Amino acid sequence: MITVLTILHIFLSFFMIAVVLLQQGKGASIGAAFGGSSQTLFGARGATTFLAKMTVAFAALFMVTSLSLAYMASKRGVSSVVLDEARGGGPASVTAPVEKKEGAAPGPAPETPSAPAK
């Protein structure tokens, strides 16, 4: 489920970027403040375009998928190498198989004598 939601989230982000980039700029209305045409300086907003509605829809869906992914991640079991090592587990607790020599007696390995002190 998380994989499907993550893929949907990525596609929504690409669609939202595309819709925002396709919209016409609103920079013409600011030019009216400096002596340009004063058609829509502080007037009515006008009709909302189809692309603006699509932007709102994609933004809402993006927000829903973001919150859903965050919720699912919080309910997921925590597994981290860093946390395992901090608890004393991890790589240090993994034991390697001991090689046995032919004819060796079972049991602990014999102690090697230390070098005499000088």
Instruction: Tell me the three-class secondary structure of the chain, residue by residue.
Output: CHHHHHHHHHHHHHHHHHHHHHCCCCCCCHHHHHCCCCCCCCCCCCCCCHHHHHHHHHHHHHHHHHHHHHHHHHHCCCCCHHHHHHCCCHHHHCCCCCCCCCCCCCCCCCCCCCCCCC
Residue 2 within a domain: yes
User: Are 8 and 65 in contact, with CB atoms under 8 Å apart?
Assistant: yes
Kindly report the pTM of this predicted structure.
0.51
Mean pLDDT, residues 50-70 = 93
Mean pLDDT, residues 86-109 = 61
Banded model confidence at residue 50, pLDDT cuts 50, 70, 90 = confident
Q: Tell me, what's the pLDDT at 85?
A: 62
Domain tally, the chain: 1
Structure token pair of residue 105: 């007696």
Residue 82 within a domain: no
Q: For residue 3, what are the domain limits?
A: 1-23+49-68
With a cut of 80, say whether residue 106 has pLDDT above it.
Answer: no
Residue 113 within a domain: no
Least confident of 39-43, 54-58, 102-106: 39-43
CA distance 17 to 59: 10
| 65: number of Cβ within 10 Å | 19
Residue 101 within a domain: no
Mean pLDDT, residues 83-87 = 63
Residue 19 within a domain: yes
Residue 9 within a domain: yes
Residue 84 within a domain: no
Residue 34 within a domain: no
Q: Tell me, what's the pLDDT at 58?
A: 95
pLDDT digits (tens, 9 = 90+) for 6-37: 999 999 999 999 998 988 776 655 555 565 55
Comparing C-alpha atoms, which of 80, 77, 72 is closest to residue 2?
Answer: 72
